[in-house]
Chains A and B, each alone.
Chain A
Amino acid sequence: MRSLLLLAALAVTLVGTASAQDPAYRYETGTYAITNARIETVTNGTIENGTVVIRDGAIEAVGAGVSAPADAVVIDATGHTVYPGLIDGGTRLGLAEIGAVAVTIDTDEIGDVTPQVEALTAVNPSSTHIPVTRVEGVTHAVTVPQGGLLPGTAALIHLVGYSPDQMFAGSRAIVVNFPQSGRRGRWDRRTDEAIAKATEEAMKKLNDVWDEAVAYARIDSARTASGSSAPMPYQPEAAALLPVLRGEMLLMVEANAAADIRAALEWIEDKNVRAVLTGAAEGWRLADEIAEAGVPVITGPVTGLPTRGSDRYSRAYENAALLHAAGVEVALRTNEAENVRNLPFQAGFAAAYGARHGFTREDALASVTIVPARILGVADRIGSIEVGKRASLFVATGDALEPSTQVTHLFIEGVRVPIDSRHIRLYEEYLDRTPALALPGESR
């Protein structure tokens, strides 16, 4: 069985070569029928030997009895499986290019409170990371500003497009890095009192910003009610928070230590906002409380280290499963930039170690497809293979979460995207390099 898959994988790689010799990425649009496929719809079970029809960027038909329209380009996916595109709930994709080269990093703006800065503004559509990521089946990612208390507005992007706006996938969220009550690391030598004081100050700052925004919202409502045409005061921070206050935008609240998560839950309840908890590395410690609060979680990386020396080796692997078992809606994230492509494997690890807590492979797949789509409010458009949804999906030689599987075809928003990236091109150039270039050089 495995060797068959490998043969298939090799064959696919060779097919990929042909398209990749073209120096440019060629995107195609049209009507497609993926036939004879196993289809993991995520929301409606698995269809054996079925067909997916893509037209005008959307899924037109799905099913075993569906036949390919006459005008469709047919992709025979015999022995292959179709999956909805994977969604990473938290990344730095497009904002960070080369970790150690500061001028290529656009994640951290100056200032502790900058909710008005928009990740989408700085997403680099030409980032090398984007093709590298999408060819592994990751079609969408939330890209998140970092650092500070309110570092900016995160955006859900799909991984094809020539401009940030083209890449925008319909969901934005204000990010709160909830004040940390603990030490930031071994290097953090502050006294307990200094830490407590800093936490208190940060909490006060957060609440002050919030109060300002509430006041701003009241003025804005009163102004609208009065029909006044007087301009609103220029308060970009408050203005950015307005949609959150009105329940029109999601708040992403990053908290990881148990105590911080508990405080964050109380704060979320107090402010009565639509929020998602992100990070939640120690979420398993208070899974019941999170479930009771009804706040969904985007957690990861699954392969992170346990947060405490006394923790079982497997705690980080199991976190998603333990939250899920308590009834929390859980999506995954890589919290990565260049290696967002590992998202399917992160889901695989969550399943491998979650099995003992009843977290299945299907749960894991949902945590990188429909669940993040729901949390981000875009489940009507992406996250599963259903008629009417945008055609963001991929064809793979086998289980999408297994490393041995190859992605053979990729559609994002109905656009057929070539299986091509700089990594693949370098592979093709160098796999059998010698005969191509054997220049002697002059001796020194």
Chain B
Amino acid sequence: MLDRVTVIVRDGRIVAVDEDAEIPFDAQIIEGDSLWVYAGFLDLYARAGVDAPDAPDYDGDRGDPPREVAGIVPDRDVRTLYDPADNAVKALREAGFTAAHLVPKDGLFAGMGAVALLRQPGRAETTTSVFLPQTETAIAQIDGARGVYPATPMGVLSVMRETVENARREMGSREAFSRDASRALRPSYSPVMDALAPVLAGDRALVFHADSWLNAHRALRVTDEMEIPQTVLAGVPDVVPVLEKLRQRGVPFIAPLALPDTVAADSLAREITLPPATQAAPGGVSFVTDRRTVSFRDTDAETGALTAQRIASVQRAEASPARLAQAEIAFGFGSFDAKGGDVRDNLRRMVEAGLSREDALTALTTGAAEIVGLENALGTVERGKLANLVITTGDYFADSTDVRFVFVEGVRHEIEARKKKASGDPNAVVTATGTWTYSVTTPAGAQTGTLTITGEAGDLSGEIETDGDVSPLNSVTLEGDLITFTFTIQGGPDVSVSGTISGDEFEGTADVGSFGSFPMTATRQPE
């Protein structure tokens, strides 16, 4: 880390990183006093802005569908499906991502991925010019076709093996034909082979997306069997069960930036004082940490256990990157289906779960660049590299830090300051009870309704009206002027609200899990 340095960017390149660099006369100056400059981040598995074309209509023989229906489309090129103006791309950029390995969505050989710079094409450029050349990958996943062959994981893996074997044979045929056309059959045009040949020749990585540790085991075995020279595994939320195999095989990994929603120690926890973990549990039963001694005669205990298992599952996902770093497995991050707006929070959770900031940063920058072979162009703030920079008000992983500017190949994007998460004044004295009219601003417009809070300080409860339904509020707490509570939309997601009260005004945010986080205001109605 360098202090008090000047970074000079010209024509999309970094031309100087120095304490006393001479500032060109024609430069725009960003006063970096107290600002931090990071190398732009690289998203290794992004579907942002990638269109998923509808599967072709098909009502023929379910046992023998055309390859497009079966999902054998390694020739499908993400560059033809990408829209750089998509809002999801903007959200990624605002989180600090300046480049992304974009991938097509459906199919067992889903197509070709490629790395793009996350900016809009310039006026003189074509749409595809934001892609970096020679960054193509092949995307594989255990994704069964709907109701046609191959519909199951075992069908998918079988088709993969056969497709790869035949691509090899066709390569052999072509070679034979070019050696001596008179002795060989004329090879025919084969887009599948053309797309897979570089993978089999070791010139292109096969990025295998596995959505579970079980599929990860399957992916690693099938790539072994198919003798794929370069495999990258992507997407497993809990990587621990497959960690040792990754290490042994030297397979790099793309960790998902999506995390499961945190599970509160929940309604069971709310009404009681937590006993110290070492203390014998009330009720006369000693719940030592050996779970074999736990007896589930009591269904509440079992519900508690399930909650604990859910919490543990979330924790495993949060701790996965830390485990990767510990095992010294090369890894980067991919957004997959994560919302850009959640990425920083999730990274922070991973850091809290034991991933060092250095390792996190490496995975976002140089580590990621190495996995896609772009370490010469991306990943560091270094003279000669592409001017992909993230400029923040402080440590990227700190909650209070804002991303202020993102440079993508020298193109400056100023980031609107995000709505501060309410932190509150612990010494303020306010009341929360009463009937409130609230408004939540969402991309689809404002949602309004009534919010009622009753009870005494320390024992608050209430309900909220959403779209005609009334849901009870959970975990209503008021500390100083900071009020927080959660509720569950009927049959929908959990929402957690936090914000501050000043007089009869509330201002804060409503966090709707993977749907994102939205500004919320409320006004207390006169009695």
Contact = CB atoms under 8 A, between A and B. Distances in A.
So, do A and B actually touch in the complex, CB under 8 Å? yes
A83 to B, nearest CB: 35
A191 B493 CA distance: 12
A191 B490 CA distance: 9
Contacts of A191: 491
Interface residues of A, number: 10
B189 interface: no
Interface stretch (B264-272, B295-303, B426-434, B446-454): B295-303
Interface string A365-391: 000000000000000000000000000
A191 to B, nearest CB: 4
Contacts of B85: none
B218 to A, nearest CB: 22
16 contacts: A191-B491, A192-B491, A193-B490, A193-B491, A194-B491, A258-B299, A259-B299, A285-B297, A285-B299, A308-B296, A308-B302, A310-B296, A310-B302, A310-B305, A310-B306, A311-B296
Interface string B289-312: 000000011010010011000000
B390 to A, nearest CB: 41
Contacts of A310: 296, 302, 305-306
Contacts of B306: 310
Contacts of B297: 285
Interface of A: 191-194, 258-259, 285, 308, 310-311
A192 B491 CA distance: 7
Nearest to A288: B297
A310 B309 CA distance: 11
Interface string B469-503: 00000000000000000000011000000000000
B310 to A, nearest CB: 13
A193 B305 CA distance: 23
A244 B338 CA distance: 59
Contacts of A259: 299
B335 to A, nearest CB: 28
B374 to A, nearest CB: 44
A285 to B, nearest CB: 6
Contacts of A194: 491
Contacts of A285: 297, 299
A258 B296 CA distance: 12
Interface of B: 296-297, 299, 302, 305-306, 490-491
A282 B297 CA distance: 10
A356 B21 CA distance: 83
A193 B490 CA distance: 7
Nearest to B492: A191
A192 B297 CA distance: 24
Given A285-B299, A308-B302, A310-B296, 13 more contacts: A191-B491, A192-B491, A193-B490, A193-B491, A194-B491, A258-B299, A259-B299, A285-B297, A308-B296, A310-B302, A310-B305, A310-B306, A311-B296
B205 to A, nearest CB: 37
A308 B309 CA distance: 15
A288 B113 CA distance: 62
Can you list the 5 inter-chain pairs with the closest CB atoms, starting with the nearest?
Answer: A191-B491, A193-B491, A258-B299, A193-B490, A310-B296
A232 to B, nearest CB: 45
Contacts of A192: 491
A193 B492 CA distance: 10
A318 B249 CA distance: 47
A405 B297 CA distance: 37
B432 to A, nearest CB: 27
Contacts of B299: 258-259, 285
Contacts of A308: 296, 302
Nearest to A322: B297
A310 B299 CA distance: 11
A309 to B, nearest CB: 10
A152 B305 CA distance: 40
Name the residue in A308, A310, A311 with the highest tally of chain B Cβ atoms < 10 Å from its Cβ: A310
A17 to B, nearest CB: 49
B300 to A, nearest CB: 11
Nearest to A194: B491
Name the residue in B299, B302, B490 with the highest tally of chain A Cβ atoms < 10 Å from its Cβ: B299
A310 B296 CA distance: 8
A191 B469 CA distance: 15
A193 B491 CA distance: 6
B200 to A, nearest CB: 40
Nearest to B469: A193
Nearest to A311: B296
Nearest to B299: A258
Nearest to B298: A285
A273 to B, nearest CB: 26
A194 B299 CA distance: 22
A258 B302 CA distance: 12
B247 to A, nearest CB: 31
A193 B296 CA distance: 26
Nearest to A258: B299
A136 B238 CA distance: 53
A196 to B, nearest CB: 11
B440 to A, nearest CB: 22
Contacts of A258: 299
A259 B296 CA distance: 14
A192 B296 CA distance: 23
A284 to B, nearest CB: 8
A191 B305 CA distance: 22
A97 to B, nearest CB: 34
A200 to B, nearest CB: 15
Nearest to B302: A310
Nearest to A315: B296
Contacts of B302: 308, 310
A425 B265 CA distance: 64
B470 to A, nearest CB: 12
A194 B491 CA distance: 8
A62 to B, nearest CB: 43
A285 B305 CA distance: 16
A50 B302 CA distance: 53
A285 B302 CA distance: 11
Nearest to A192: B491
A290 to B, nearest CB: 13
A323 to B, nearest CB: 13
B398 to A, nearest CB: 38
A60 to B, nearest CB: 49
A26 B299 CA distance: 55
Name the residue in A194, A258, A285 with the highest tally of chain B Cβ atoms < 10 Å from its Cβ: A285
A64 B483 CA distance: 83
A194 B492 CA distance: 12
Nearest to A284: B297
A294 B296 CA distance: 24
A306 to B, nearest CB: 11
A191 B491 CA distance: 6
A260 B296 CA distance: 17
A193 B469 CA distance: 12
B103 to A, nearest CB: 29
Nearest to B297: A285
A157 B392 CA distance: 82
A373 to B, nearest CB: 31
A128 to B, nearest CB: 38
Nearest to A262: B299
A308 B299 CA distance: 11
A198 to B, nearest CB: 13
A106 to B, nearest CB: 35
B308 to A, nearest CB: 12
Name the residue in B297, B305, B306, B490 with the highest tally of chain A Cβ atoms < 10 Å from its Cβ: B297
Contacts of A193: 490-491
A191 B299 CA distance: 21
Contacts of B305: 310
Contacts of B296: 308, 310-311
A291 to B, nearest CB: 14
Nearest to B305: A310
B524 to A, nearest CB: 30
A354 B55 CA distance: 57
Name the residue in B296, B305, B490 with the highest tally of chain A Cβ atoms < 10 Å from its Cβ: B296
